[in-house]
Amino acid sequence: MFEDARSKRIVLVAHCVLNQNAKLDQCAHYPGAMKEAVQLLIDAGVGLVQMPCPELLALGLDRQVEKGTNPTVESEDTRIAVRMAEQPARSLCQKLVDDVVLQIEEYQKNGFAVAGVVGINGSPTCGVESTWSDDQEREGPGVYIHALQASLAARDIALPMRGIRAYDPEEAVRTLSDLLGH
């Protein structure tokens, strides 16, 4: 089954890797997709599964910024980190994770290789090696990635996870090349 041109190899990517329009105001570094990172993935022949953006779905595109204020990126990341750790955002993250894990299991059940998960370091939700809280970047995963790691571990699914940053395309390409074994 599935004996056609497909590579049968996929990578799950944070929503904003493919769509910078979903980013917090003042945080987009591209008009659309993260060009260099996405081009490397396309050239590698992997299928791209875009994970949902928990912040967009829980807080909206404007992240519920109070009108008429001019907050800093740092203060907004802190506010978002607090909001995403609360209910119902936390439950929404778990539902989104459950849907993604179902896709992973379906691909694996049908003989596809899931090469890994790509998050966005420094993100309160999709950070892999680092997240944001208490007005600073900290080691550890964001709320969504933490829930994804826990759900995968509960199902004995081991996947490599790497975080990239839109403002550092060269490092992003190195990270993705390493993830793909190139």
Under 8 Å between Cβ of 125 and 54: yes
Domain positions in the chain are 9-180
pLDDT at 68 over 80: no
Residue 5, pLDDT score: 96
pLDDT digits (tens, 9 = 90+) for 143-173: 999 999 999 999 999 999 999 999 999 999 9
pLDDT (tens digit, 9 = 90+) per residue, 24-67? 888 999 999 999 999 999 999 999 999 999 999 999 999 888 77
pLDDT grade for 139, boundaries at 50, 70 and 90: very high
pLDDT computed for residue 181 by the predictor:
94
The confidence score (pLDDT) of residue 25 equals 86
Q: How far apart are CA 88 and CA 164, in angstroms?
A: 27
pLDDT of amino acid 150: 98
Length of the chain in terms of residues written: 182
**pLDDT (mean) for 82-108:** 97
- pLDDT value at residue 65: 81
Answer with the residue of higher pLDDT: 71 or 45: 45
Over the chain, what is the mean pLDDT?
96
Burial 57-72 (b: 16+ CB within 10 A, else e): ebbeeebebeeeeebe
Strand partners, 50: 13
